[in-house]
Amino acid sequence: MATKKRKRKELFALGNEAVVEGALLAGCSFFAGYPITPSTEIAEVMSQRLPFVHDGVFIQMEDEIASMGAIIGASLAGRKTMTATSGPGFSLMQENLGYACMTEVPLVLVNVMRGGPSTGMPTSPAQGDVQQARWGCHGDHPIIVLSACNVQECLEMTIVAFNFAEKYRTPVILLLDEITAHTREKISLPFPDELEILARVAPAMPPEWYISYEETMRGVPPLPPLGSGYRFHVTGLTHDKNGFPTSKPDEVKALMYRQFRKIDQFFYDIQLVDEVQCEDAEIVVVAYGCVARSAELAVHMARERGVKAGFLKLKTLFPFPKSALQPLARQCRTIIVPEMNMGQLSREVKRVNNGLAQVQTINRIDGQIITPSEIFKSIMQA
Amino acid sequence: MAQVTELIHNYLRHNKKFPHVYCAGCGHGIVLGSLIRSVHGLGYSKDDIVLVAGIGCSGRMAVYVDFNTVHTTHGRALTFATGIKMANPKLKVIVVMGDGDAMAIGGNHLIHAARRNIGLTALVLNNNIYGMTGGQSSPTSPEGTVSATAPFGQLERSFDIVDMAITSGASYVARGTVMHVPMLDGLISDALEKPGFNLVEILTPCHTQYGRKNKFKTVVDMYTWYKTNTMKRELYAQKSPEEQQKLTPIGVFRDEGWPGLETRYAQLRTKLQEQESCQSSAN
Ligand SMILES: Cc1ncc(C[n+]2csc(CCOP(=O)(O)OP(=O)(O)O)c2C)c(N)n1
Ligand code: SF4
């Protein structure tokens, strides 16, 4: 082929800035948020960029509850929407996040984790919101939680987050941490034509035939924008397939089961992991976020000493990537899970491991990253 | 009568969600009627209207009308509505809230929606009580009134919704009652046609949860109270301070016609994008 090799545009960007680049490439045209360290740059850069996007809107709301309300409203009006926050704000967002789960409104919520609980350590990294991301809003609900460990991944996983949100008609949480968000690295911007950008399913039928929460093959009902002639009702109450409130057990069951099914049956599409030197590994380190970088380095160090170590990086945290972990649990002797919390994801690892391998945890909650040498030491002792 | 039937068929989900949940004598239905007549009178298309409601008996209105309807979370209706309006300024966004919804849990959102003057019409159905949850005090329950959570009388002072909206920067602010229906029709129509943040406080009785506990023997007594204890603000202004104490003024309290945030944002965006394209063509 005689086509000239195109050179991708390169940037020296913060993780937070890369999130914005990813969001804009994914078609995000609406951002509502409230400033909070260490996520603030996302809002600031959005306020700069969105006025230059066709119909782009940036709005600073009065709090994080309002930010969630605004992006849900805008998403219902047909926009791809996003907000960004950190611990205290994430707690405030849970109420309307639950609403988005119940009403199946696509949106992306970026939570840059810092030390907690409460005001905690605003400028220090942590991974303490992992289980809150899974279960923070009340009631049973499926949710997709993703993470990223470097600046290029911040861009890529933001695009994935938007695609999953639209494809599965669900809120998607992107969990970052202070280190990943505030690291400045060289990244390359993909050309728009290199990307697969998904749009939400639009109704194929005329308004008279449209049933807003109809059961479909994929379990994902089409969602037209408000004001497009499809007049329907949206409510956080349990609803029947027409969207109207119901508490009839058979109708409630159908609604809730469909919501779980639409995520569960596409588990293999949603489960994203990277495996490094796992083929013959006897010791596997499972990590995500900034700790993943320490873990990868520690595994290389161990290999240099002839230890059969491998690394499983989780990019999808929930639904938990069980089918990536299970074969490794069968194969290896020890699984090491380093996390900057008291063991929030290692609970999932232990559940899936189910006694197969020995699971060790390395936990830190003092605002310091778990270093490669700490992990290396554990590998060598395992 | 024929016209009523026509309006019911045109604007209500009459074959879906009726009978409604409202108690006999509840004022919320009168507000609903007034809203429907206003929308009809102004000739809006149902497709262009989004009715956003909070949680409470008032919020239930969203189920009954055949518009685009979003029944949100308690107190947060204005935040959803802000997102909808900013995302698509062509839509007519109407927000229906109760007094607990708008002034307690959603008080901060109300202040800020008014301050940023987002182009919405907010209807606050003030029945001085939490109707849906069984008659607890609300921020508009008058001092001394009895409720399920103030069994010995309310000690706290109550909010004046109109004053709050004006101070916060709303562009259009009015107060009506369900006892003055032609006037209410006028106020809602007026508000719907104005740019910026428009708020109409509507005094409406909840005999079930408020009236019975506060010495209103019958529903009719409550409606009579609204008739004898409210007064057009022009007449009210002529009364002595002692007489004013017992009266609530109704009518239009502010009418500025300030452009909504969605319009100002779109103007800024157009300006910036024009500047950008000038610069890039100059390069
Ligand atoms: C976060 C939250 N807190 C409390 C409630 C319970 N709740 C439902 S309606 C309501 C108050 C309703 O009163 P009001 O807003 O005055 O409306 P009305 O029913 O009188 O029309 C409350 C407290 C809720 N749904 N959500
Ligand atoms: S409880 Fe009060 S507000 Fe609710 S429907 Fe009955 S009368 Fe109306």
Residues A165-190: tens digit of each pLDDT: 999 999 999 999 999 999 999 999 99
Q: What are phi and psi of B169, to 5 degrees?
A: 110, 15
Instruction: Decide if B272 touches A, using CB distance below 8 A.
Output: yes
Q: What is the pLDDT of residue A85?
A: 98
Q: Is the pLDDT of residue A215 over 90?
A: yes
Q: Which residues contact A358 (CB under 8 A, 6 or more apart)?
A: A333, A334, A335, A382
Instruction: Decide if B8 touches A, using CB distance below 8 A.
Output: no
Q: What is the pLDDT of residue A155?
A: 98
Q: What are phi and psi of B5, to 5 degrees?
A: -60, -40
Q: Is the pLDDT of residue A195 over 80?
A: yes
Query: Is residue A271 packed enough to be buried (19+ CB in 10 Å), middle (13-18) or exposed (0-12)?
Result: middle
Q: Is the pLDDT of residue A1 over 70?
A: no
Q: What is the pLDDT of residue A84?
A: 98
CA nearest to A32 within chain B: B83
Sheet holding B68-71, edge to edge: A233-235, B68-71, B49-53, B92-98, B121-126, B198-203, B172-177, B248-255, B230-232
Listed by number, the residues of chain A in 219-258 with a beta carbon closer than 8 Å to a beta carbon of chain B are 225-229, 231-237, 242, 244-245
Q: What is the pLDDT of residue B1?
A: 64
| Mean pLDDT in residue range A108-137 | 97
Proportion of chain B above pLDDT 70, given as a percent: 99
Q: What fold is seen in the domain A10-194? A: Rossmann fold (3.40.50)
Which two tokens mark A143? 């949710």
Q: Which domain holds residue B127?
A: 2-282
Residues of chain A contacting B79 with CB distance shorter than 8 Å: 61, 65-70, 73, 96
Q: Is the pLDDT of residue A2 over 60?
A: no
The one-letter amino acid at B114: A
Q: With cut-offs at 50, 70 and 90, classify the pLDDT of residue A3.
A: low
Q: Is the pLDDT of residue A350 over 70?
A: yes
| Mean pLDDT in residue range B185-204 | 98
Quote the crossing angle between the two packed helices A40-49 and A15-25, to the nearest 10°: 40
Q: What is the pLDDT of residue B22?
A: 96
The one-letter amino acid at B222: M
Q: Which CATH architecture has domain A274-381?
A: 3-Layer(aba) Sandwich (3.40)
Q: With cut-offs at 50, 70 and 90, classify the pLDDT of residue A251.
A: very high
Q: What is the pLDDT of residue B100?
A: 98
Q: Are the C-beta atoms of residues B202 and B184 closer than 8 Å to each other? A: yes
The one-letter amino acid at A116: G
Q: Is the pLDDT of residue B2 over 90?
A: no
User: What's B171's domain CATH number?
Assistant: 3.40.50.970
Nearest Cα neighbor of A96 from A61, A132, A72, A60 is: A72
The position carrying tokens 């933001």 is A158
A&B contacts, CB < 8 Å? 140
3-class SS letters over chain B: CHHHHHHHHHHECCCCCCCCCCCCCCCHHHHHHHHHHHHHHHCCCHHHEEEEECCCCHHHHHHHECCEEEECCCCCHHHHHHHHHHHCCCCEEEEEEEHHHHHHHCHHHHHHHHHHCCCCEEEEEECCEECCCCCEECCCCCCCCCECCECCCCCCCCCCHHHHHHHHCCCEEEEEECCCHHHHHHHHHHHHHCCCCEEEEEECCCHHHHHHHHCCCCHHHHHHHHHHCEEEHHHHCCCCHHHHHCCEEEEEEEECCCCCHHHHHHHHHHHHHHHHHHHHHHC
Do A227 and B50 lie within an 8 Å CB cutoff? yes
Number of domains in chain B: 1
Question: Best of B55, B145, B149 to mutate for ligand 1, by most ligand atoms within 8 A of CB?
Answer: B55
Instruction: Decide if B65 touches A, using CB distance below 8 A.
Output: no
Q: Is the pLDDT of residue A151 over 60?
A: yes
Q: Is the pLDDT of residue A4 over 80?
A: no
B19 or B237, higher pLDDT: B237
Q: With cut-offs at 50, 70 and 90, classify the pLDDT of residue B16.
A: confident
Q: Is the pLDDT of residue B274 over 70?
A: yes
Considering only CA atoms, which residue is closest to atom 8 of ligand 2? B26
Of the bound ligands, which one is closest to the alpha carbon of residue B55? 1
List where CATH 3.40.50.970 sits in chain A: 10-194
| Mean pLDDT in residue range A84-96 | 98
Mean per-residue pLDDT of chain B: 97
Closest atom of ligand 1 to CA, residue B74: 26
Which two tokens mark A341? 């919390």
Q: What is the pLDDT of residue A255?
A: 98
- Cα torsion B235, B241, B247, B248 to 10°: value is 80
Considering only CA atoms, which residue is closest to atom 1 of ligand 2? B131
What are the beta bridge partners of residue B2?
Answer: none
